Amino acid sequence: MQTTITKTTQLENPALEQRASELFHEQLLRLHKENDRLFAWLLIGQWLFAIALAATISPLAWEGLNNAIHLHVWIALILGGIIILPGVLLGFMASGSVLTRHIIAIAQTLIGALLIHLTGGRIETHFHVFGSLAFLAFYRDWRVLLTATIVVAADHLLRGLFYPESVFGGITNVIARVFEHAAWVVFENVFLVIGIKRSLFEMRQLALDQAQLEQDKEKERLLGEQIKASQAQLVQSEKMASLGQMVAGLAHEMNTPLGYVQNNLQSLKQVYSELTVLAQRFHITQETLLSGKLDTLENILVENASYLSKVNPQRLQRAADIFNDAIEGLNRMRDLILDLKNFSRLEEAEMKPANLNACIDSALKILHHQIKNSVLIVKDYGQLPDFFCFPAKLNQVVLNLVSNAIYACEKRYGNSQKGVITIETRQRGDLAVLKVSDNGTGIAPQHLSKIFDPFFTTKEVGKGTGLGLSITYKIIQEHKGNIRVESKEGEGTTFTIELPIRTESNKTSMFVETEATSV
């Protein structure tokens, strides 16, 4: 059962296992390389130490007879050099490979042997072997210890047999001492191998943890991206919704002038054809008069009278009126299209100077069809200079605030036109202040703190996205302004927006100073 579970987890997350093993081996390789280089330096150091030892201590220690450049100095220099050379070379040039650490192990034990020889087989120098083994254990590879042990044992045995003074300082009990030394080495090796096992286990565990962490981070990142994407989508859908609202408003606003412009032109076409006939009659009359055929003139004049009687001068006067209406209607449509053009640039790259009062007016035009039915708009505009802003975004802000206000008024009064929305603008120092107040239903105190949260809405499902005010908030932030709300349930709501009056262009810099928070 348990194996099945393990298998499943492994199967479930083979990527994790693989990543952990990768990390583990990376770590191990790094360790090996580092160790190889350390040993290379250490070998050089030990070689120099051996030379120094040979030059200073050996002559005295070695029977104290001779103090010239002793043979041992040459041994230390040449034999030591031969011992360390492969280890040092490989340590620097082929660090990390399996062969390198075994060669280093051999070199390290042999240099130990050399030192023992140079001190005349002093038992204290044998401690070097234990130190070497402990250091070699840093490789966390028990095979390296094996190599070192074999070399130590072989060296002790061979020198014990053929040159016991070099290793034991004397010639007594050589075989027994070889075995005793070997036993201590094995004793140490046991602990070192246990240590290696444990440390490898810990490294594996660490690698697994790290792999897990990486995977979690990746998941988090992906999740974050997903959230960002879906948020962006919702913002887009809010934009589409306000676009839809605009299009509906625009369609209504267009239909009215379109209706009468079309109808007027149709009527005028008829008037035009009546006038064309009159022009023809005039032409005929003129020709008759000029040609002097006065006998036909009477008939023509009689005919003219019958045509003239059909033309009603009052109707012609009214035709002029509906002609003007048609032109007026076309102007109205042109203005609407211009307003829509402002709205369509929701993503403006740079701020440009615009007048807040004009922004409000064009938003109100789009909302006209909703306003005229249910609420009274009171405009109380103050003198405001043009300042740098994103006019289309401010249009949207006004659109959002006013359509919320209309909603609140309609909810409270229905169609009875008791709803009043006051739009006030003022300049206060270097701030432009915009207040939108209504006498609608107001906002419940428990909702007040949430209204700027994305997706918060008290409208029915499908009626509002709950993004209108959060987008408003974001737009105000982009302008480095602030927005406040005061509301009393059952009495009404006031939104106050303060925008810095920026008279100089604030071009977008090339580099991001602080990471922008995008909703």
Q: Which helix (H) or strand (E) holds 357?
A: helix 356-366
453 binds another protein (CB under 8 A): no
Cα 519 to Cα 513: distance, rounded to the nearest angstrom: 18
Q: Would you say 56 or 415 has its CB closer to another protein?
A: 415
Residues 415-434 that bind another protein (CB under 8 A): 415, 417
In the shown chain, the binding pattern of residues 109 to 138 toward another protein, with x for contact by CB under 8 A and - for none, equals ------------------------------
Give min distance, CB of 327 to another protein, in A. Answer: 11
In whole angstroms, the minimum distance from the beta carbon of 282 to another protein comes to 24
Q: Where does this chain touch another protein (CB under 8 A) — which range of 136-144, 247-255, 300-308, 397-405?
A: 247-255
Q: State in angstroms the smallest separation of the CB of 339 from another protein.
A: 17
Q: Cβ of residue 380: shortest distance to another protein, in angstroms?
A: 21
Question: For residues 258 and 249, what is the distance between their CA atoms, to the nearest angstrom?
Answer: 14
Least Å distance between CB 266 and another protein?
5
Find tokens 């409270």 and name the residue. Answer: 412
Which residue lies nearer to another protein by CB, 80 or 419? Answer: 419
Question: By three-state DSSP, how is residue 392 classified?
Answer: helix
Residues 131-190 that bind another protein (CB under 8 A): none
Taking the C-alpha atoms of residue 77 and residue 50, their distance in angstroms, rounded to an integer, is 8
For residue 381, give both structure tokens: 């505009």
- Give the CA distances from residue 275 to residues 230, 262, 324, 465, in Å, rounded to whole numbers and listed in that order: 64, 20, 18, 57
Question: Strand pairing of 387-389 and 431-438?
Answer: unpaired
Residue 304 sits in the site that holds another protein (CB under 8 A): no
Q: Kindly write out the interface string for residues 250-279 of this chain, putting x where it contacts another protein by CB under 8 A and - elsewhere.
A: -xx-xxxxxxx-xxx-xx------------
| Least distance in angstroms from the C-beta of 442 to another protein | 24
Residues 65-104, mask of contacts with another protein (x by CB under 8 A):
----------------------------------------
Q: Which is nearer to another protein, 234 or 254 (CB)?
A: 254
Selection from 147, 140, 150 nearest residue 204 by Cα = 140
Selected binder of another protein within 315, 428, 488, 507 (CB under 8 A): 315
Residue 319 binding another protein, by CB under 8 A? yes
Judged by CB under 8 A, how many residues of this single chain contact another protein? 27
369 contacts another protein (rule: CB under 8 A): yes
**346 three-class SS:** coil
Contact call for residue 244 and another protein (CB under 8 A): no
Cα three-residue angle 317-322-326, rounded to 5 degrees: 150
3-state secondary structure 41-97: HHHHHHHHHHHHHHHHCHHHHCCCCCCCCCHHHHHHHHHHHHHHHHHHHHHHHCCCC
Measured from the CB atom, the residue of 91 and 329 that comes closer to another protein is 329
- Taking phi over 0 as left and psi of -120 to 50 as alpha, with beta for the rest, 347 belongs to beta
User: Least distance (Å) from another protein to the CB of residue 491?
Assistant: 24
Residue 25 makes contact with another protein by CB under 8 A: no
The per-residue b/e assignment along 387-406, b for 16 or more CB within 10 angstroms, e otherwise, is bbbbbbbbbbbbbbbbbbbb
* Binds another protein (CB under 8 A): choice among 34, 287, 303, 321: 321
**DSSP state letters, 89-137:** HHHHHSTT-HHHHHHHHHHHHHHHHHHHHHTTS-GGGGHHHHHHHHHHG
DSSP, collapsed to helix, strand or coil, labels residue 473 as: helix
Considering only 87, 329, 442, 492, the residue that binds another protein (CB under 8 A) is: 329
> Residue 436 Cβ, how far from another protein at the closest point, in Å?
21
Report if residue 322 touches another protein, rule: CB under 8 A: yes
Q: Which residues in 221-230 are b (16+ Cβ under 10 Å) and which e?
A: eeeeeeeeee
Residues binding another protein (CB under 8 A): 251-252, 254-260, 262-264, 266-267, 315, 318-319, 321-322, 325, 328-329, 369, 372-373, 415, 417
